[in-house]
Amino acid sequence: MAKRNKQNTDKLHSCIIDAINEKKGNELISLELGSLPNAICQHFIICHADSTTQVAAIAENIEERVQKELNEKAWQKGGYDNSIWVVLDYVDIVVHIFQTEWRQFYKLEDLWADAKRTNFD
């Protein structure tokens, strides 16, 4: 799958942020990884929710909104089977939706502490 141009990546980023906010994702952040050595994508978007039902609802809303507004599907996705950590891979942007306790356990944002961080709360 080819990388997008910056304008298309920005549209995708905005659509994902809006979809998460619509379903009340907690502590929503974006990490800009593109300038880091060996970055696997341009952005990680991370949030959490208090229940597996809400985790799944956030992920499903992202997929529906991105499909409807940008006519794109996730390249890869995983975690719907238990909804404690759902990952949606849109190549340039990888979205991580955790159940609260698992976000605290994995501390994913701490692994990328050098990345520029934007908070959306």
Is the pTM higher than 0.75? The answer reads: yes
Burial class (CB in 10 A: 0-12, 13-18, 19+), 106: middle
Domain ranges, residue 55: 7-12+26-116
Q: Do the domain assignments include residue 20?
A: no
Q: Do the domain assignments include residue 121?
A: no
Domain of 88: which CATH number? 3.30.460.10
Kind of pairing, strands 93-99 and 43-49?
parallel
Q: Do the domain assignments include residue 57?
A: yes
Segment 40-74, tens digit of pLDDT: 899 999 999 999 999 999 999 999 999 999 999 99
The SS3 call for residue 89 is strand
Give the residue ranges of the chain where pLDDT is below 70: 1-4
Q: How many domains does the chain have?
A: 1
pLDDT of residue 60: 98
pLDDT of residue 6: 75
